[in-house]
Structure 1
Amino acid sequence: MTTQLSLSDLRCCQGLLLQWHEEASVDIAELLAGGTGLSLKGQWRALAPHLETPIVLTPAQWALLTALTTGSEPPLIQMQALEQALQELLASALVTYSKPMTQDHADLGPEQWWWPLAAVMHRMSRWHGVDSAHAAAQSQTLDMVAMAGRYGPAPSPAPHVDAALVFLPKPPPDSFDLLLAQRTTCRNFDTDKALPALLFGQMLQRTFAAHGHVQVTNGPTLLKRNAPSGGGLHPIDAYLLVRNVDGIEPGLYRYAPLGHALQPLPAPPEGLDEFAMRAVSQQHWFAQAHVLVMLVANFPRSFWKYRRHAKAYRVAVLDAGHLSQLLYLAATQAGLGAFVTAAINEVDIEQSLDLQPLSDSPLAVCGFGWRSGLMTTTEFDPTGSLWRAPASPPPAQDRID
């Protein structure tokens, strides 16, 4: 028996994307028949901000979602199949009975302040349990010469132009230029030498402290940091893994920018060493830093103003970039090494810090500490500002130089 199902009371979840996904596999029979030996199999998948992973759709589920998204009549399918598909879609919250949102978005909760496409991208691009160091070795991305042999010449940093160039004057370097020249990503930390508490406090004060603030009546608290932020809202919080600082118990902390203080957090069950390795996706050269700083975006702090704004997520990512560069310069001036990496296991960090990904989620991990006197892991220092002999390029997947 076929019949039609009323969809008038149903609506798709916010940010729903339907994706046609194809995977290639080896087909021996097709190869023996004179073909390429490759078989492509495709399937429709649903992606949404509240899902950890995509959901493979059955034909009935796909038909119902298509009808809902296009406003067309539901298909003529066996009623039992339709009812089962509907119950499955309701259980996964891909379909709801919720009322439509108001035009000014005033009735939305914080998780719905996202621009839907950004929410899906953020949710689906997070890593869980990834070993990026092993993956880079397996994919041979550590050897750029071999990569050039496979992929051809890399894009030039200075595109060729036929027009005459206007050359600019080069003033003599001053102390700030010398500081900038010494900024180099550190992959070799001295784990035997503790970081003084005063120097630790100076790093946090210069990079993450609020040096002024304004409390808007019934509104947000606008912070004045040493780095810019979209709307002055500063959605980035610094969560710290302190490993080797004089007078500070090793552990997890959250930095309070208004009070210049640390809020102790529960220790990760697997221990600090294992958590550090998981956080930076097994990049052991970074996990050894005296202090790791997880740049966690508190999205409601920014999205409260920029609701469903196409640029709001991009601004949060830029904020993390501003802070990481400021940390680099503060560390360089203090004679410390520093790093930043986006090759992180966001899901593992969220679980250990008890964070919800659409509310608070890490965008990058920074770190700082004393440099080692020995380069056991390659660093990129072509001018020899820190190491006497220029170093060869380090692994490409974690370089932000």
Structure 2
Amino acid sequence: MKNTLCYTKRRTAGLTAFLLAFLLLFSWGIRGTAATETIATDGSFEEDEVGTDAANTLDFAIDWINEKGNDVATAVVMEENGGKFLHIEGFYEIYSYDLFDEGYTFSVDARTGNGALIGFFVRSGRNPAEKFPFYEWDWYAEQEGKNGESGIGGSGISVHLMEDGVRVNIKNYQEDGSHVSNTYYDFTGLEGYQNPAENFNKITIADEGTRIVISINETLLATVELSDIGTYETDTEKPPVDFVYYKTAVMKNAAGEEVVKINNARVVAEEYMSAIGVRNGKLDIDNIVISYEDEQPDPTEAPEETTAPTANASTEKPDTTSTVKPAATNAPQEEEPSDSGWILWAVIAAAAVVAIILIITVIVRKKNKNREK
């Protein structure tokens, strides 16, 4: 009987130790894991009335700033085949209200027959000192530049829906001309690519930090690898100014083969934005979305103390160059119920199991002693 009792005691003690160890590891794992939430803008126009100006749309205008290049430019909601979209004509630009310093994804469904004059930008900057709109011509060749071509915008990487393929352009620095030029590669023979003048094609640009991933209709098109952060002295004289760039850019096709490499890129490295530039053309867009991962605070941590606002605190909308959250998040929202309650119940349940095991151990021990007698 002693052997049986010893076995029972060892088995019970082992099970108890296992449960306690599991409970400790479980609690440590919960405390050490930070939750993330995917934030995505609402880029559809289904809730807007036909004829609504872009600046007055319900959701789109919250996350994107819309600016006309002249009085005749327009951007209004239209409807076709039961679906609504934004129709743009003339000189027009759209840029994100947010500035970014880390990864995000920019996607949009687009239809246009003016590919070279309509660009979808990432890693771009907007000069607060002297306006350089995304539809603006850089005038490089017109100012006797000999080492590249002219194009729209002043910085960043842009995607253009051409008639026979997709162009990926990298803005760059040159010592001659206007100091702002372009290096691009045209990807042709793309499977699933539809005539952009008649059909919507989906552009997706994922910013992974030092790597930009570009897809068309959910199919990988190209990647651009970035390195060598720096500035250009002439930027203090002409726009764009005060930007820090990735100077080295290596573009590869879907197979990973290098197609372009430059060491004079103007790809903004800090506080950059996404944008669309339309230079006297026509563009239809829908489902324009920016999404990113937002790390949530550990639920076990105490909230940080906040300073009460002073009487002079400003309630005005921040300048477009400030890094802010989308305006949609400024409105008060209902507080979601905490999910930490179930952890407490799990601890109580585990403690109950341990207590029951200890009680059973005592009972078994007493019974065996009685039998030995």
Normalised to the residue count of structure 1, the TM-score between the two structures is 0.24
Q: Which has the higher contact order (CA 8 A, sep 6+)?
A: 2
Higher-strand-fraction structure: 2
Higher-helix-fraction structure: 1
Point out the structure with max Rg over C-alpha: 2
Normalised to the residue count of structure 2, the TM-score between the two structures is 0.25
